[in-house]
Amino acid sequence: METEGAEMTLVNAPFTDEQIKSLNEYQKSEYVHPYTCGNEGCNHVSLIATKEGWECPQCHNWTQTWCHDFTADWSWKEVDGIIGINGVPHRIVEEPCRLCDGSGKAQKLSGFKEDEDCPFCDGTGVHIKWEKVLE
């Protein structure tokens, strides 16, 4: 369900599987402000998108049932391939995850079981970053 806001459209939960994927990838981007927990003591920890809305992985007591439309439909990832960050053109680049070397598994990370998914790339083996566009 979508609700018209003053400047942008809001998408309300329940989120679809594809929206959840887009939202959780958005949360991992280095160049956007993630959705964060507002509870005291959580220190603005990044939320995790679920079908029912956002969940705080730390306190499990924060609920938010909406997101901005551009974060739910992958359009945050590409605006004609280029987006301005502080007035400098950037484009999205996908690269192998630095923590798991692209394997998607946490076997090389201390404190994780061999078969666990990498916590940085959620088992995809891919890390998304913004790169300056050089003229």
Model confidence over 86-99: pLDDT tens digits? 556 666 777 888 77
- Name the strand (E) or helix (H) holding 69: helix 69-72
Domain annotation covers residue 77:
no
**Statement to judge: residues 37 and 96 lie in one domain:** no
* For residues 39-53, average pLDDT: 90
The answer to whether the predicted template modeling score (pTM) of the entire model surpasses 0.95 is no
- Model pLDDT, residue 4: 38
**Statement to judge: residues 6 and 68 lie in one domain:** yes
Domain annotation covers residue 30:
yes
Coil, helix or strand for 40? coil
For 49-84, write each residue's pLDDT tens digit.
Answer: 999 999 999 998 888 999 988 889 888 776 545 555
**Statement to judge: residues 97 and 63 lie in one domain:** no
Residue holding tokens 């502080």? 86
Domain annotation covers residue 13:
yes
**Statement to judge: residues 10 and 68 lie in one domain:** yes
Per-chain mean pLDDT for the chain: 78
Q: How many domains, the chain?
A: 2
Which domain, by its residues, includes 105?
A: 83-132
Q: In sequence order, what are the residues at sequence separation of 6 or more whose Cβ sits closer than 8 angstroms to the Cβ of residue 46?
A: 27, 34, 35, 36, 57
